[in-house]
Amino acid sequence: MANVRVERTDDGGFRATNARGAEVRIGGGDEDGVFTPVELLLAAVGGCNIVTVEPLTAQRNKRLVRLEMTVQAEKVEQSKLGPVTVTYDVELPSEDARAVFEAVAKRVHEKYCTVSRSLQEGTEVRLELP
């Protein structure tokens, strides 16, 4: 089970923490040094894809020289995003690595990235009040 605690901090900001002690500062788009909730969602999509693609390409002896991505989406309504686009930026170790990378990236996108799949399939979000 995944679990994250989100709380208001003493300085009036917000932070998310996990059981392993990692912390992310959260705020509005006009604040420096913080992620907005939408940026965190996009980071989760990118993170899920990239941490899955990396070991799978390396296991096939095609470890990418450089592996980066941009994840973006625009709001289509006040509180709704349009399609999320993941754009890879890679440097291949050889031309024959392209087919391996593309096959792995497509498979990860379609089957193995929990975050992307949950968004695509419309995972229910439940609210529990005290």
- pLDDT tens-digit readout, 1-44: 789 999 999 999 999 999 999 999 999 989 999 999 999 999 99
Residue 130 placed within a domain: no
pLDDT at 83 over 90: yes
Share of the chain above pLDDT 90, in %: 93
Mean pLDDT of the chain: 95
Mean pLDDT of all residues in 105-127? 94
pLDDT at position 26: 97
25 with 55, same domain?
no
26 with 40, same domain?
no
Residue 94 placed within a domain: yes
Residue with tokens 């930026």: 89
Q: What's the CA dihedral at 112, 115, 118, 120 to 10 degrees?
A: -90
pLDDT at 64 over 90: yes
| Nearest residue to 69 (alpha-carbon basis) of 101, 38, 31, 22 | 101
Domain boundaries, position 6: 1-35
Element (H, E) at 46: helix 37-59
115 with 77, same domain?
yes
Three-state DSSP at 33 gives coil
21 with 55, same domain?
no
pLDDT at position 93: 93
